Structure 1
Amino acid sequence: MRVSAAIHREFSIAQIDDRLYSAFIEHMGRAIYSGIYEPGHPQADDHGFRRDVAQMVRDLNIPAIRYPGGNFVSAYNWEDGIGPKADRPVRLDLAWRSKESNQVGINEFAIWAQDLGIDMMLAVNLGSRGISDARNFMEYVNHPSGTHWSDLRRSHGVKQPYNVKMWCLGNEMDGPWQIGHKEAKEYGRLADETAKALRQLTPGAEMVVCGSSNDEMPTYPDWERGVLEECYENVDYISLHKYFGNSSRDTLNFFGKVEETGRYIQSIAGVIDFVKAKKRAKNDVHICFDEWNVWYHKREQDSKNWKSWDWPEAPALLEEDYTFEDTLFVACLLNEFIRRSDRVRIACIAQLVNVIAPIRAEAGGPAWRQSIYWPYQLASIHGRGTALRVAVDGPSYNCAVADDVDYLDVAAVEGDGIVTLFMVNRHLTEEADLRLSLTGYPGATLLDHQVIQGHDLMATNGPGREPIAPVAGRGLAVEDGMVGGALAPLSYHVVRIRV
């Protein structure tokens, strides 16, 4: 199939916020315990964190990480995770019906995040708790000294405040499954008052208010309107969550869910604009897509388990085995975030280790990179700068979730004298004969071409074997302001061009 495309250096979308490539980790399953933290493991450091896992995280160049939940946070007492470890209580986690040992709390997690150069994005419990506890948590985390909570932190060996700027006001409060579930107006009022209190403690702190848990909720998108009408002037972001699957085994429809996500973002952007106009507000609210990933391989099986098991500690839960098909989908979804970077400023892959994650780690054993690790890493490293508009003229298809889905999915980013193209040929059988015009970039030359292709759609990576990984690409050339060549069916390409 023939595909023509064009970019122009003057036709940009937005400056991409680096936090578009953020992550999420929750006290859930083995994400923390035997995920990032496993004292006694051969790779454990002096704090009990696994060096092998940490290196894989470091290689992702993650700017920020959301913690400690998730559903977990809506019944979490943050004070349980501070002070001497021997004195910390074991609690029942109502979200995932398991025991929480509290051996990792805010200070331990901060050690790990700081070692990896990752900013923390902390969530407060607005389910079973409220303003007072959120205020105390921020005081413990951010106030220098001279108060009860800040001096308590100092007595725990942390002399300097963490100065955390990003704060999530609860989690999925629209969901009836959430501890402390609320109606939109009720939650919006609580979020507004909490945001005002927290900003008195940390001026300039960024507030993320809960949007819909997904775009199939019966309250979507009226939930966003109701919440924002209560708190618009005092928040900076509204969160979106969405998980994806291919239970029907229809690959093209699965890929089409990226277009569905674009509509989701566009709809909430419209709600934001409506509320801003209605309130005559001067501030802008952006989107924080702080939970996204493929989640369906083990979802039904594990949902039965966690609703009936007898409160295990750090059980194996939602440990998806990601396929090559998932690799291509995640690559396309990251492209959509780039194309929507004028509205989506923060996005967090959910989650980071073991639980629906790009990294897996066996207790006492090895760690490995799942197939989806690679598009996430390549976008995180090379997708920073200015997002460019891409005009694509080529064959498309219709599916159950979307019409006119381009077989060739393309996003482009310019930064530091390099234009990077992220391209996925979604066609099942045909290669794409590409001709892409680089207008306004005289003297452009090919710098690098990496590709992931040639795998069975159901192929996976595993311990000691990582066949799904980028390799040097062939067959593309940059000449006279034109990128040309053949892209194999079912392939992902990252092409870097010096301009």
Structure 2
Amino acid sequence: MRTARLTLDPAFTVAPVPRRLFGSFVEHMGRCVYTGIYEPGHPSADADGLRGDVLELVKELGPTVVRYPGGNFVSGFEWEDSVGPKDQRPRRLDRAWRTTETNQFGLAEFSTWARAAGVEPMMAVNLGTRGLQDACNLLEYSNHASGSKFSDLRVAHGSKDPFDIKLWCLGNELDGPWQTGHKTAHEYGRLAAETGRAMRLIDPDVELVAVGSSSRSMPTFGQWEDTVLELAYDTVDYISLHAYYEEHDGDAGSFLASGRDMDLFIEAVVATADAVRARGRHSKKINLSFDEWNVWYQSRPHHMPGTEPWDPTEPDERAPRLIEDEYSVTDAVVVGTLLHSLLRHADRVHIGAQAQLVNVIGLLRSEPGGPAWKQSIAYPFERMRHLAVGEVLQVGVRSDRYETAQFGDVDIVDAAATWDEENSVLALFVANRDLSESAGVSVDLRGFASLTAVRSAEVLAAAEGQDRHTTNADQHDAVGLRPLTGVEFADGRLRVELPPLSWGVVTLHAR
């Protein structure tokens, strides 16, 4: 059996749990919107065409913020097409995903859905094919009460009250050559600064996210952040990070250590932002928005348009199936450790968005006219979203280690923890990366004198007869959380035995 010793103390904290850390992402891509969250005619659909079964699952997951409408899609988005009477909305060719956008779901529909789901909208503006004036027009339409051209247009379209969107992304992945309107760091930094300043003249309370690197492997990584922040530091509040992970050539060990890459990515961006702060003698800190992250098997064959022409015979109303990964036990454990990384860096990562919400590399899956269900990766997200409350704790870890091809020696046991002092509840999130051996975890909790009992203990792992590749594709509840047995708590010490390749959560409270 593998072993690990953890130490937690309420005197050693990282930061309060950021409310926006547990967010998600809805892009006009594949079936995320159409037959995902929106499907008029579905048996569960309401009068607005919103799928009730998907909405109920979203409420169970509990994302706090949802980014919209992209993603690569936003760099060609003409927002005026998505508002007003639906029978007057034009169809557009979407250059990002080589499909036809019907615009039957747009800004007002998303605002209605966001209110119903109880999420804060995070709107992205098009700085690819458009720029400053368009961003200001969209903000005026969304947030100004009335008495101006675009606010009165919103009222005329049936939305008397402003949408009151406070969180805005200044474009998307403009460091990438694949992006419509790809720019150099200097070009983008100037545009972001000018656009942000103009938007604040309309609504001084907006919070602005500058585009950071699309991944840590980008050739411009580091230099991009340095240049963009040099030009836009005083204007923006956050800089973004995007990262996707997958298992390559059967190297499960490195894949399971993906959280190490996320740690390094975050710490490098923090260092760059703080260097710009010091050099410019700025008083404020730039925080991080990790607003795209997930497991995504980009090496698998998917229907990913990019070179073929538009097919005029394809029904426009039926969105194509793009990157609909079916997630396994292994993927769920990796997602759990990525959430650990975000939580451990809660002092600087204040926004997170697991991409995407439905169907497209989704936490949820749905079928047209049929059922909706949770994928395996939804369970760590859901539990951490609801149980990570109060202060993030520093976790002292002494674990057996294993060798990886990408990251060298890595801890077999990975963990994060939170302490809700008001309710005297401690939550420990912990993963065993070993594929074949259990892990005995001993946790020193002698600083938590008020804790008297284990309140809950759950684990996600392969059940009897399953293996690490098991998904929820056929049986929609094949992979999920089950009770974790063999948990002991006495004399300020918690003992947990984790099965091979597992992610679990244990909560303790004052009974």
Q: Do they fold alike, i.e. is TM over 0.5? A: yes
- 1:342 aligns to what? 347
Shift of 1:14: 0.8
1:460 to 457, 471, 474: 471
- 1:9 aligns to what? 10
Query: 1:451 and 2:459 equivalent?
Result: yes
- Superposition pairs for residues 30-49 of structure 1, below 5 Å? 30-49=31-50
2:492 to 481, 489, 494: 481
2:448 alignment partner AA = Y
Shift of 1:204: 1.9
1:319 alignment partner AA = E
Q: Is the 8 A contact 1:23 1:351 kept in 2?
A: yes
Query: Deviations along 1:72-106, whole A, 9 cap, x unmatched?
Result: 00011000001100000000000000000000110
Query: Deviations along 1:263-284, whole A, 9 cap, x unmatched?
Result: 1110010000000001101111
Q: Distance in 1 between matches of 2:131 and 2:245?
A: 32
Q: Distance in 2 between matches of 1:170 and 1:436?
A: 44
1:359 alignment partner AA = L
- Superposition pairs for residues 255-334 of structure 1, below 5 Å? 255-296=256-297, 299-303=300-304, 305-308=305-308, 310-311=310-311, 312=314, 313=316, 314-334=319-339
Q: Distance in 1 between matches of 2:262 and 2:394?
A: 18
1:422 to 425, 429, 450: 429
- 1:127 aligns to what? 128
- 2:243 aligns to what? 242
Q: Distance in 1 between matches of 2:192 and 2:359?
A: 31
- Superposition pairs for residues 211-250 of structure 1, below 5 Å? 211-250=212-251
Query: 1:353 and 2:361 equivalent?
Result: no
Shift of 1:297: 6.2
- Superposition pairs for residues 32-111 of structure 1, below 5 Å? 32-111=33-112
Q: Distance in 2 between matches of 1:309 and 1:316?
A: 17
Shift of 1:306: 4.3
SS of the residue corresponding to residue 196 of structure 2 reads helix
Shift of 1:385: 2.0
Shift of 1:309: 5.1
- 1:469 aligns to what? 480
Q: Is the 8 A contact 1:39 1:49 kept in 2?
A: yes
Structure 2 stretches lacking a partner, 5+ long: none
Query: Deviations along 1:282-304, whole A, 9 cap, x unmatched?
Result: 1111110000011116754333x
Q: Distance in 2 between matches of 1:424 and 1:449?
A: 13
Query: Deviations along 1:211-260, whole A, 9 cap, x unmatched?
Result: 00111111111100011000001101000001111031111110122101
Q: Is the 8 A contact 2:122 2:169 kept in 1?
A: yes
2:449 to 442, 457, 461: 442
Q: Is the 8 A contact 2:414 2:430 kept in 1?
A: yes
2:400 to 376, 380, 395: 395
Q: Distance in 2 between matches of 1:326 and 1:194?
A: 39
SS of the residue corresponding to residue 368 of structure 1 reads strand
Query: Deviations along 1:353-379, whole A, 9 cap, x unmatched?
Result: 010101011111111111111011111
2:375 to 361, 367, 370: 370
Structure 1 stretches lacking a partner, 5+ long: none
Shift of 1:417: 1.8
TM-score for the superposition, normalised by structure 1: 0.98
Shift of 1:430: 1.6
2:346 alignment partner AA = S
Query: Deviations along 1:293-348, whole A, 9 cap, x unmatched?
Result: 11116754333x44325255311111111111101000011011111111111010
Taking only the aligned residue pairs, the percentage that are identical comes to 43
Q: Distance in 1 between matches of 2:185 and 2:241?
A: 15
Moved more, 378-387 or 38-47: 378-387
SS of the residue corresponding to residue 316 of structure 1 reads coil
Query: Deviations along 1:144-179, whole A, 9 cap, x unmatched?
Result: 010110011011111111111100000001011111
Q: Distance in 2 between matches of 1:216 and 1:263?
A: 12
Q: Distance in 1 between matches of 2:495 and 2:77?
A: 54
RMSD: 1.2
1:61 alignment partner AA = G
- 1:185 aligns to what? 186
Q: Is the 8 A contact 1:367 1:463 kept in 2?
A: no
In the superposition, relative to structure 1, how do residues 101 and 299 fare at CA in structure 2: closer, same or farther (>3 Å)?
farther
Q: Distance in 2 between matches of 1:318 and 1:429?
A: 30
Q: Distance in 1 between matches of 2:124 and 2:310?
A: 27
SS of the residue corresponding to residue 398 of structure 1 reads strand
* Number of positions where the alignment pairs a residue of Structure 1 with one of Structure 2: 498
SS of the residue corresponding to residue 270 of structure 1 reads helix
In the superposition, relative to structure 1, how do residues 350 and 485 fare at CA in structure 2: closer, same or farther (>3 Å)?
closer
Shift of 1:191: 0.2
